[in-house]
Amino acid sequence: MKKQNTIIVYCLLSLLFAVSCGEAKKGAPAGEKTEEVLPEDIVEMRADQIKLAEVELGHVEQRLLSSSLKVNGTVNAAPQNLATICAPMSGFVKNTSLMPGQQVKKGEILAEIENQEFIDLQRSYLESKNKLEYAEAEYKRHNELYKEDVYSQKNVQQVTTEFKNLKAEVNALRQKLILVGLTPESLGEENIRKSIQIVAPISGYVESVNVNLGKFVSPTDIMFRIVNNNKLYLELTLFEKDANKVFRDQKVKFFINNETEEHHAVIAQTGQSVNADKSYKVYCNVLDDCKNVLPGMYVSALIATTGKMSESLPAEAVVSFDDKDYIFVYDSEKMEEGKPFTLYRMVQVRKGISEGDFTEVILPEGFKTAETRVVTKGAYNLLSAKKNAGEMAC
């Protein structure tokens, strides 16, 4: 849009210059040369042309500018906010109603699987538990009789060994039941279950669903992936030469999908080694609650380096021509055929660091910053007039 407006203004300026030239030539005596030759670095304009070009004047300012390191990277979820769900034991999927993108809460049932092995595990636990009760009673009885010299030490040792073995077996089976999601305390001979429930270990959104009804799953199969977007981080890739420019707590601005919306992060950790391709990793915590930022997205980021006070101008005040950078400054006023004209002079500069809408300018030696008024707006229109001075000169 800005480029289109510049083209429109340039066309209108061309028309105004052409009209003014035509009027000058019409009123000139025959044979008199009316074309004025301006210095190479001067552009002149009437008041109406200045208004059309939207020229505004200002001064070079001292500003604290920070250079930015432009890098690319990806959005990731913190490890504790990313869950891969597998079945603790093999089984067939009995039911599930999950869809990718669905929100779930911690402890919510994701699926139910069934298998004969679940029944066998519960039966083994109950049988061992009953044997343990008998073995414990025998252990106590033999110890009492041993004290009364009724049983030998050998018999006591044998009973003690059996009791301890059964106790270890029951505890192992108990932990296995807990592992598959069953509660040993509530398990009895009358409520043996043929299926187990798979529950969500964290709250978040379902990223992927890899099962369907009747599918056989093993402990190595990934059934679901859940991601929680409350804590995201950026993994940025830098070149080896830039490793000394970043540090912890440094501020980062990043953008996704070529959007103009700005998001913010802060460097939490820098890499401690350089990869084989000479790249260097930096990890940043995302600060904002960004609704449209999701794990896996590619980002372009700007890392703000140490700032310094610099002579600066609005970025639109600096224009490029023939691979060089210029600004326009107010030069003087003059009258031609009763009409006032304002003269602007092109001054070559060098651009430095940029931040936001301002850019550092390295001015030529002897430039008087306090006294010189600089074109802060409309510089592109003046450049257009300068480029076409041959067509628009009077």
286-312 confidence digits (pLDDT tens): 987 777 788 888 999 988 776 778 899
Query: Residue 272 burial (CB < 10 Å; 0-12/13-18/19+)?
Result: exposed
Say whether pLDDT at 345 is over 90. Answer: yes
Please identify, among 227, 252, 273, the residue that sits at the C-terminal boundary of a domain. 227
pLDDT classification of 330: cutoffs 50, 70, 90:
very high
Query: How large a percentage of the chain has pLDDT more than 90?
Result: 35
CATH of the domain at 234: 2.40.30.170
Indicate the helix (H) or strand (E) that contains 178. helix 153-179
What pLDDT shows up at residue 25? 42
Q: Mark whether 186 and 101 lie in a shared domain.
A: yes
Please identify, among 227, 259, 286, the residue that sits at the C-terminal boundary of a domain. 227
Please identify, among 279, 307, 335, the residue that sits at the C-terminal boundary of a domain. 307
Q: Mark whether 252 and 337 lie in a shared domain.
A: no
Q: Mark whether 166 and 246 lie in a shared domain.
A: no
Q: Mark whether 182 and 298 lie in a shared domain.
A: no
Q: Mark whether 57 and 73 lie in a shared domain.
A: no
Determine if the pTM surpasses 0.85: no
Q: Mark whether 261 and 299 lie in a shared domain.
A: yes
Mean pLDDT of 228-247: 86
Q: Mark whether 177 and 98 lie in a shared domain.
A: yes
Say whether pLDDT at 280 is over 60. Answer: yes
Residue 283 burial (CB count, 10 A)? 17
What pLDDT shows up at residue 291? 72
* Residues 324-337: b if buried by 16+ CB within 10 A, e if exposed: ebbbbbebeeeeee
Say whether pLDDT at 107 is over 60. Answer: yes
Instruction: Give the torsion sign (CA, 375, 359, 366, 308).
Output: positive
Q: Mark whether 219 and 107 lie in a shared domain.
A: yes
Q: Mark whether 116 and 190 lie in a shared domain.
A: yes
The predicted-structure confidence for 151-189, as pLDDT tens digits, reads as follows 667 777 888 888 889 999 999 999 999 888 888 888 888
pLDDT classification of 34: cutoffs 50, 70, 90:
low
What pLDDT shows up at residue 78? 86
pLDDT classification of 12: cutoffs 50, 70, 90:
low
Q: Mark whether 328 and 295 lie in a shared domain.
A: no
pLDDT classification of 257: cutoffs 50, 70, 90:
confident
Mean pLDDT of 85-96: 93
What pLDDT shows up at residue 60? 92
Closest by alpha carbon to 339, among 21, 1, 88? Answer: 21
CA 371 to mean position of chain CA atoms? 44
Say whether pLDDT at 46 is over 50. Answer: yes
What pLDDT shows up at residue 309? 85
What pLDDT shows up at residue 35? 59
What pLDDT shows up at residue 329? 93
Q: Mark whether 51 and 141 lie in a shared domain.
A: no
Q: Mark whether 107 and 238 lie in a shared domain.
A: no
What pLDDT shows up at residue 92? 95
Query: Residue 199 burial (CB < 10 Å; 0-12/13-18/19+)?
Result: middle
Say whether pLDDT at 236 is over 90. Answer: yes
Say whether pLDDT at 13 is over 70. Answer: no
Output the CA–CA distances (angstroms, integers) from residue 236 to 74, 78, 232, 250, 275, in the order listed: 7, 15, 13, 13, 13
Among the listed ranges 48-57, 240-249, 363-372, which one has the minimum average pLDDT value?
A: 240-249
Whole-angstrom Cα distance, residue 321 to residue 57?
Answer: 21
What pLDDT shows up at residue 356? 76
Mean pLDDT of 236-247: 85
Tell me which residue range forms the domain holding 71.
67-79+228-307
Report the mean per-residue pLDDT for the chain. 83
The predicted-structure confidence for 108-144, as pLDDT tens digits, reads as follows 999 999 999 989 999 999 999 888 888 888 878 777 7
Task: Check: CB of residue 36 under 8 Å from CB of residue 394.
Answer: yes
What pLDDT shows up at residue 284? 92
Number of domains in the chain: 3
